[in-house]
Chain A
Amino acid sequence: MDSAYLNNWIKNESKVIDLGCGDGSLLRDLMNTKSVNGFGVENDLEKIEKCIENNVPVIQHDLDDGLKDFKHLGFDAAIMASSIQCLRNPKSALIDLLDVATTCVVSIPNFGYWKIRLLMMAGRMPVSSRLPSKWYETKNIHLCTIKDFEELCAELNLKILEKIYLNDHGKPLKKLKRGNLLAAEGVYLIGA
């Protein structure tokens, strides 16, 4: 996720947790540009080392163990960039997210995207530059479309305050209409 899209959503000097922060580069950007007080959560030791190298505070944690360790610690915003579909229990993670922070930024790869549909039409699981892993090694285990995701948010009474649909190159689509077909990724600002 490009931090440019987050600029309106993440407030200056706010306290931000990035759940599945990788090498910490998104948080580093936000720390540099918005002076946020950032914490990353990551389970991969090599990525954790990168975070420490980048001066990004990081907590080693397996997100599949739940978010209870991060509840009510005063976060203004939680970011879950392209990691919810990797969780064993994405629904309970979504429920817990608003106990972690008052607003949450969640992004999902959209499996309703037309190029993916085409690949599936050919009778194969989709492999593309954005989804490079084969079915047996992909970390994406709970695949959903934009429609599916927004339906779950509604069911859980999670308010989608704002959303952006991104194309294949990570650029926002001008219109939200037919996003389920045209967007490669959905980015959401969720609140209570």
Chain B
Amino acid sequence: MKKNSAVFKSDLNFKFACNKTLPSIELVYETYGEINADKSNAVLVCHAFSGSHEAAGLTSDGNKTGWWDEIIGPGKAIDTERYFVVSVNNLGSCYGSSGPKSISMETSEPYSSKFPDVCVLDWVNSQKLLMDELEIDCWEMVAGGSLGGMQALQWAVSYPEKIKRAAVIAATAQTSPQNIALNEVARQIIRKDSSFNNGEYISYNTTPKEGLKTARMLGHITYLSETNIQRRFGRKKQAPGTKVAEEVNFEIENYLQYKGDQFSEFFDANSYILMTKAMDEYNLADQFEGNMSKALERIKSKLLIISFTSDWLFPSWHSRRLQKDCILSNVESSFIELEGSYGHDSFLFASPEYSKILKTFLGS
């Protein structure tokens, strides 16, 4: 599989939906496969909350595969022998695209907590700039899970002529109060970390690692299903000598602490707050005076809406509601609820049914 990493710099003023402007932005991205002569085989994949542009193949640190490696690659659902896949790190994230850790040209300091509030529409608008730069006229498909699925939906609404298919997976057109509640607890945990310093921790030379870790532990539970952790950990006790901390008793505790520790090593606390805020704020209808039909009526592409049975973060009713609204607005949309025991994270793992549906949709 041909793989490329690059940085796209746009020197045009970038205006965020919150009305703030940055004089320039940078997007790091990866591409997989090769673009054809008339540039008509491009697929955009959008990452979820804590994902990155590293979607397929080995990650840059060399010891993991990208977050959607089971889906993207030669012969896989998104076949890199046929398609040219683009994967962008979102604005406000912390993997290289402009975000809170970037240096402001105005102040020569990191933006930190001053980075503009970013939203799903901003991501799509910035991805559109990259699309123009790559001289791609129309995406064969935009696909993503969770927050990535919201971007796919937003693409279909914001740029109806620029997309043929949208795969909206384990996502929603409107986050729920439960989503917001869980995110707020996570944010409070981060803010209450004494190293957070109102988000200015870089200038204080501190890192709110403990806050990030605990926030991630909570988040992580919401990505898994009860069945999944029952099967995987049960009530097993962590063997002495393998504990990450003295107070750990059960394997599930050890696992969450371990995952939390890992996460807090590389993720940025301000990004955590920005990305969760973007998720909370997502309500497609808001951009159209609260009228969902008005939003969906703009869509010209085909839509594939997928949910998973064990997902309790964005349970199937979110997807069913979206499908219902799509029928009302005469959008060419299909809805499928797949069996998946991994909870919300099911969208990451390629079951044969899931791969086949995606592949068929892309080939249709």
Contact = CB atoms under 8 A, between A and B. Distances in A.
B335 A59 contact: yes
Given A39-B327, A45-B353, A53 B336 contact: no
Contacts of B360: 49, 52-53
A121 interface: no
A45 B364 CA distance: 16
Contacts, number: 48
A15 B356 CA distance: 28
A128 interface: no
B323 A59 contact: yes
Interface residues of B, number: 21
Interface string A50-74: 0111110111100000000110011
Contacts of A55: 302, 364
29 contacts: A39-B327, A45-B336, A48-B334, A48-B357, A49-B356, A49-B360, A52-B334, A52-B357, A52-B360, A52-B361, A53-B360, A53-B364, A55-B364, A57-B302, A57-B334, A58-B334, A58-B336, A59-B327, A59-B334, A59-B335, A60-B335, A60-B336, A60-B337, A69-B320, A69-B324, A70-B327, A73-B324, A74-B327, A74-B328
B286 interface: no
Contacts of A49: 356-357, 360
A37 interface: yes
Nearest to A17: B327
B333 A57 contact: yes
Contacts of A58: 334-336
A54 B363 CA distance: 10
A74 B296 CA distance: 15
A121 to B, nearest CB: 45
B262 interface: no
B162 to A, nearest CB: 20
A67 B320 CA distance: 13
Given A15-B330, A57-B333, A52 B324 contact: no
B262 to A, nearest CB: 36
Query: What 8 A-B pairs come out closest when comparing CB atoms?
Result: A73-B327, A60-B336, A58-B334, A52-B360, A59-B335, A57-B334, A57-B332, A53-B360
Contacts of A15: 330
A51 B360 CA distance: 10
- Determine which residue in A37, A48, A60, A74 has the highest number of CB atoms from chain B within 10 A of its CB, and name it: A60
